[in-house]
Amino acid sequence: MKQALLVIDAQQELLDGNENQPAIFNKDQLISNINSVIDQALQSEALFIFIRDKDVATGVGAGFQIHKDIHVPSSSIVFDKLATNSFYGTPLLEYLKSNEVRHVVMMGCKTEHCIDTAVRTATINRLDVTLVGDGHSTTDSDTLSAEQMIAHHNNILHGHYNVDHFSVVRNSLEDLFTPTHNQYR
């Protein structure tokens, strides 16, 4: 089965913050976990896809780039998006279909926006998803801490389904590229 690692909005300014926005919760651990999963994906011969949000750093400069501490494989594909949804207005879905990908491992930012939307959209589009539970992050909102939002999304997205395809939440130390979805079917 063909697989892909999808890293969403792991951009310099989004992770580090700026004068208007704090750094994401647990930034250093997130970067370490992304690099660890990249190593797993290399061993599994998965495809690498990075998504960048054009709203970050107004879509230009160092702040717009994938974070400097993430070890981006040379074979990676990078798509830029204008919407919360990584699939909207990008060639992502067509790329996954043309490469016959059936399982996507997802990581990145921000939990309650782009991660949640990508997981749900992928299942609608006949993909099984493994969301890396310790591989996504966000910042505090007016009502919830980042830690609460991450825990909440890990809870509600584990087992989220669209009849035949669904998501599971697993942590970065697990063998993420050996999917467990069939155990639940």
What does the pLDDT look like over 30-78, one tens digit per residue? 999 999 999 999 999 999 999 999 999 999 999 999 999 999 999 999 9
Residue 184 has pLDDT above 90, yes or no: no
Give me the residue spans of the domains in the chain.
2-183
Q: What is the CATH number assigned to the segment(s) 2-183?
A: 3.40.50.850
pTM of the model: 0.97
What does the pLDDT look like over 138-163, one tens digit per residue? 999 999 999 999 999 999 999 988 77
Angle, CA 83 vertex, CA 140 and CA 21 arms, to 5°? 30
